[in-house]
Structure 1
């Protein structure tokens, strides 16, 4: 399905309810599989979380998680601990190109029995569940936090817990802290000092019987972008959000101050409002090591406002649903931007021209579709394969219509 976005203007005030965080939901689903006493409220309705839930409930030998990268990492760890169960874990053609050796090597060092069925270092995997009795493992600190979280999530069910050493400068710290905070909420003891993380074994009943998932901050980013490109005084309220969020992408509330957007919290609602226009000479410089998923949104916002933008800490974007840095460069340049990328950075030159009626390719990547949509406030454009948004935010296009976007 393609969607044509005609140049739109939006309501001065709107309210949107956003589903639970995919990151929190997938962590809690795995913890629920390990501790079935837990129930979860405000679970994400994203494809990834639906696939994760289905996989955890499946007794089939072959488990196919399609494009769901988080599920691939978390389930590799989970199935390696299911004593006596043999599982073949596979996914889409793109998933078979996404590396998993780092996690597999770490699990093998703990005693796991995992074999590659096609290309060495990549899914699909044949996993024979075993009792993992070893306790110590090391990883490079700059790897995807999903590898680290996968190990931490199963750690409390390992016979002797887990002592994880991270070598080098740690990236994506908020996602690691999110995982540890959810473990702590259940009652699991953890320590995170310097480059060492300790998770103690836990066989008691959980301290809580229900956990409510906070709404997804990554999904909120598209509304920050919309407000940034709107007229002064335009406001949207989003629910349900916490001031003290576990999600790294909650840094949006500070970052978008640079785009003239004010954030206020009231109970579990966040109000975002355009309060000032940004000078055309403004240069946005950000290290997004701890929040790489909002890089696409920020790049497009800066382009829509004609601002210069330099983003760093983006090395993990190359192994996402697509190589997001290359995809961003290609699609922004279609619209008239000048973009320079390296393996870990993106530099957008200031530009006042935005071409009309450009077709934006989405590369099976939900964030490409949603990040470019706010440009409908500046120009008309077409988003190809727009239903890819169901991976994380199935209601996205309906919510844009609620704001006043003119979609065909």
Structure 2
């Protein structure tokens, strides 16, 4: 499905309120914990494809599981299936079979897991014979993906003797680890986490972090509620940033004390004239200024999912940007750094330079194009939604627009509510 997005016919004077689905990051963690502790009840689960795939896999009685594009599900389920009795083959889409998983697999094998690569070494599909984890200490590189670490943390309390996770290198996406720690502790799990200021040398490696998780038989809280997804809120921060002073939008079910790292959006979008206020469990976004920075420099090592959204906002407003800490973007649904350079270069007056983990944008404010700008999505939901707010400045042709179901299924319906003219072609 391709969609033509055209500039709103008229601006909206009334205030709108949106309800965004629960965080898939929170939902997927809680689903693994629920599988290990069935008495747990979860409220406001995400309706994203990733979470649906996770639910279907956990409920399936089959020994062959296909999780599509759901990278989080691949990582978490690999650890989960390794921790329980049974033999399971887990695979995914063609892109998923190109996304590396060797760091996690080798870590699991080092503590007794039996896992085989069925095609290319280091990549899915995998055959897992579960129930053989017997060691209590595991080591892995902390700088590649926080999801590998979280996968181990989630199964740790269900293991007979718990697990000590020794991390080497600089930890990436720290807020996602903090999210996992928070949920484990809320269920009654004892988690001891020594951070970078206590780095020690062991076996000729510098251990920057050590996470010790004790076993737990019975959880203390039987019900938890998922906060709405801050990653998805980013698209509406971008939309509000592109509007006139006084424009206001409200998002439902957000907590001032959030466990989601992308809540950092509140701070980042101040540079784009957007004010954030909380009213009960509502997030109110208001455009309060058009005196914007000429250039922003942001390290997104802890919020990499916001790179595309912030890049697109800067492109539209003509704000030069230097975004760093993006090394994990190379192994996402697509190579997101390459995708941003490709698509961003289709807009007039933009110069884009990239390295392995940075992207630098030099541009002028976006003006209407003679023809719709083609936005290839590369099987990546965030490419579609990050660029969509630019429809208030110029027409866009979003290719394979259905990809948004991965994280925000009702996104196009919500965009229509702000008067974007959307036509399927």
TM class, shorter-chain normalised? Answer: over 0.9
Bigger drift between 303-312 and 1-10 goes to 1-10
Deviations 1:308-338 (A, max 9, x none): 0000000000000000000011001012221
CA distance in 1, matches of 2:309, 2:263: 14
Of 286, 304, 317, the match for 1:292: 304
**Equivalent residue number for residue 243 of structure 1:** 256
Instruction: Answer yes or no: is 1:199 the counterpart of 2:210.
Output: no
8 Å contact from structure 2 (residues 366, 393) kept in 1: no
Deviations 1:61-114 (A, max 9, x none): 11000100000000000001112x110000000000000000000000110000
Secondary structure in 2 aligned to 1:329?
Answer: helix
**Equivalent residue number for residue 70 of structure 2:** 68
Instruction: Answer yes or no: is 1:375 the counterpart of 2:390.
Output: yes
Of 345, 359, 362, the match for 2:377: 362
**Equivalent residue number for residue 119 of structure 1:** 120
* 1:139 shift after superposition: 1.2
8 Å contact from structure 2 (residues 315, 366) kept in 1: no
Instruction: Answer yes or no: is 1:311 the counterpart of 2:320.
Output: no
* 1:131 shift after superposition: 3.5
Structure 1: segments with no counterpart, 5+ residues: none
**Equivalent residue number for residue 4 of structure 1:** 4
Secondary structure in 1 aligned to 2:323?
Answer: strand
Aligned-residue RMSD, C-alpha: 1.0
Q: How does 1:179-190 map to 2 (within 5 A)?
A: 179-190=180-191
Q: How many residues align?
A: 405
**Equivalent residue number for residue 150 of structure 1:** 151
Structure 2: segments with no counterpart, 5+ residues: 196-208
CA distance in 2, matches of 1:340, 1:353: 18
TM-score, normalised with respect to structure 2: 0.94
8 Å contact from structure 1 (residues 20, 43) kept in 2: yes
CA distance in 2, matches of 1:390, 1:10: 27
Q: How does 1:159-238 map to 2 (within 5 A)?
A: 159-194=160-195, 195-204=209-218, 206-238=219-251
Bigger drift between 349-358 and 190-199 goes to 349-358
CA distance in 1, matches of 2:63, 2:42: 26
Secondary structure in 1 aligned to 2:341?
Answer: helix
* 1:120 shift after superposition: 0.2
Deviations 1:209-259 (A, max 9, x none): 111000000000000000000000001000110011010100001100010
Secondary structure in 1 aligned to 2:363?
Answer: coil
8 Å contact from structure 1 (residues 10, 405) kept in 2: no
Instruction: Answer yes or no: is 1:406 the counterpart of 2:413.
Output: no
